[in-house]
Amino acid sequence: MTAGHATTVEAIVREFAADRTRLLDIIEAVQHQFGHVADNAIHAIATGLGIHAVEVEDTLSFYAFFDRQPRGRCRIRLSRTPISLMKGAQGVADAFTAALGIAMGETSPDGAFTVEWTSDIGMADQEPAALVNGRVLTALTPADVPGIVAALRQSGAADARLPNANIRSSLVQAGPVLSGELGGADIIRATLALPPEKVIEEITAAKLRGRGGAGFPTGMKWRLCRKAPGADHYVACNADEGEPGTFKDRVLLDEFPDLVFDGMTVAGYALGARHGLLYLRGEYAYMWDRLQRVLKSRRDRRLLGTAIGGREGFDFDIRLQLGAGAYICGEESALIESLEGKRGAPRDRPPFPTERGYLQQPTAVDNVETYACAARIMQHGAAWFTGYGTRESAGTKLVCVSGDCPRPGVYEVAFGMTVNELLDLVSAPEAAFVQVSGPSGQSVAPKDFGRRIAFEDLSTGGSTMIFGAQRDVLDVALQFADFFVAESCGWCAPCRVGTTLLKQGMEKIVAGRATLADVTATEQLANTVVRMSRCGLGQTAPNPILTTMRNFPEAYEARLQPGPFAPAVTLDEALREATSLRAHAPVTAEA
């Protein structure tokens, strides 16, 4: 780093007012400027913020999208999920490595390209998909790759002229929430007609529950947050949509951003908050400029800022926070840590975020879809909302359908729909199994297709991956186990070590080397990880294994070794190093 670079880093730190809680933005800006964050940049940031380098490194090294070493100027990240692989991602990866002459994870010698795998990027309905310097390419085929590489070589950057650089609208079926006007002044006017307590009563009467999948009653959360003492109250929107197979928040933010911001503004009014924060996953960085324009337009229309809707004393604004590749930040307390510029390690509760959240102040963290629903409730009333869905699960759910299905996309359906009805709706009646609510959810077998999408039955954040008879349920479970290894934050031992051990256990099972004792041991370990992990990630990481063991025991039985014990390593494997040194295989009795 030259003196000029140091000046640039110092300027970036100043741009964020040398505020330690903005460390994520500062690192992001330095990474954007230089392509990586070198050691002396780390020192310049630490000096500028008055903290230690080890603290900068703590945050920096946590996020998949930050680098300490130079990588390729064109950064190609291919989405690796069971869905992308079934749609041909491996062939696309092979085409990239062939065209570039490097392996996955490597950088070309001229420093022009890095190609690597990444976790789900929110494009499950148009896989194989990739991020190229933040721009999204979809529906890739190996034949597209030479053209993409040539275009990147020519321009040196990713722009809209790249082949496949378009995202098709994913909305297939809109229901009551996604129909009608896109939001705006009417919703705010209806809200301001009520005192804040009445707004919370309306949300409570509508029986709105958190759409991320946990289903906590939103009205209760808002009431707890409102009455919690604090110098400031915060409204946070969780747009860190990282659950593989989910892409509804992308649809909402792409096509209904005003509705989401309306919902946040409703919450701001109800809670007496002046600040809103929307945590946008790093994979959705392509939306950044557009969302900023929407926010500006809202400020211009006095739907944000001071005296919103002409109401003196109601001041509320929204800041966007960009994430940087960490599934765990979708966990609300990890999201708050990340908002504060730290590693996304969840917090222990109590205290809950409603008492002490962002900057230790009362904070309501809600899902993107929850805010959209809240806005519609204020527009049409609680009775309108409870007219849809079931007694326990009012309203509708945005279901993201992907996989072996001719019509993937987002469907807004009323809660209470059975899996069978959903499969008919999306023209996939032949499904062999359905992964409901992503890897952290459940693998549902046909015998359970009569179950209902609802908090009281099959609770879901929306991800619905459909697998046909040609798919191997254990392969999918192994890929999900691998996902949790990549995304465990590492803070607590059961999840950090357990996810790796579970993956190894599944590898042995899938390879057909496991005995019944191994399967039992893997199941016991999985249950320990569920019981002992600190946060929802660890507590649900074993679900792919546990739910497939429960629902597809025959798939496990088919791969079992007979006998009481099978070694973890094979003899050939154990002797591999010796064999290669001696340049011949061990001499056996038969020889």
Partner 1 sequence: MAASPIRFSIDGIAVEATEGQSVIEACDAAGIYIPRLCYHPDLEPSGTCRVCTCKINGRNGAACVTPASHGMIVENETPQLTDDRRTLIEMLFVEGNHPCPYCVASGDCELQALGYRLGMVAPRLPYQWPKHTIDATHPDIYLDHERCILCARCIVASRMQDGKTIFGFEGRGIAMRLNVDATGGLGATQMAAIDKAARVCPVACIVIKNDSYRVPNGERRFDIAPIGSDIEAKRKQAAS
Which residues of the shown chain bind partner 1 in the complex (CB under 8 A)?
Answer: 39, 51-55, 57-58, 61-62, 326, 343, 348, 350, 485-494, 496-501, 504, 521, 524-525, 528, 531-534, 568
Nearer CB in complex with partner 1: 108/504 = 504
**DSSP-assigned beta bridge partners for residue 361:** none
Minimum distance of partner 1 from residue 412's CB (angstroms): 34
Minimum distance of partner 1 from residue 585's CB (angstroms): 24
Minimum distance of partner 1 from residue 83's CB (angstroms): 22
Minimum distance of partner 1 from residue 300's CB (angstroms): 41
CB atoms within 10 A of CB 17: 8
**Which candidate, 296, 250, 499, 259, places its Cα nearest to that of 379?**
259
281 vs 292: CA distance, rounded Å? 15
Contact 55, 353 (CB under 8 A): no
State the DSSP string of 423-447: HHHTT-TT-SEEEETSTTSEEE-GG
Minimum distance of partner 1 from residue 503's CB (angstroms): 10
Nearer CB in complex with partner 1: 325/403 = 325
127 vs 559: CA distance, rounded Å? 30
Nearer CB in complex with partner 1: 485/516 = 485
Nearer CB in complex with partner 1: 326/454 = 326
89 vs 81: CA distance, rounded Å? 9
Minimum distance of partner 1 from residue 502's CB (angstroms): 11
Minimum distance of partner 1 from residue 524's CB (angstroms): 8
Please report, as a single letter, which amino acid is at residue 446. P
The pairing of beta strand 363-367 with beta strand 135-137: unpaired
Minimum distance of partner 1 from residue 42's CB (angstroms): 9
Nearer CB in complex with partner 1: 80/534 = 534
Torsion sign across C-alpha atoms 346, 352, 356, 361: positive
Nearer CB in complex with partner 1: 194/532 = 532
Nearer CB in complex with partner 1: 30/260 = 30
Minimum distance of partner 1 from residue 392's CB (angstroms): 21
Nearer CB in complex with partner 1: 193/569 = 569
Coil vs helix vs strand at 402: strand
399 vs 248: CA distance, rounded Å? 7
98 vs 84: CA distance, rounded Å? 19
Long-range contacts from 200-205, C-beta under 8 angstroms, 24+ separation: 200/226, 200/270, 202/377, 202/378, 202/381, 202/382, 203/270, 203/374, 203/377, 203/382, 205/382, 205/383, 205/386
H helices present in 488-552, as ranges? 493-510, 516-532, 536-540, 543-551
Nearer CB in complex with partner 1: 28/254 = 28
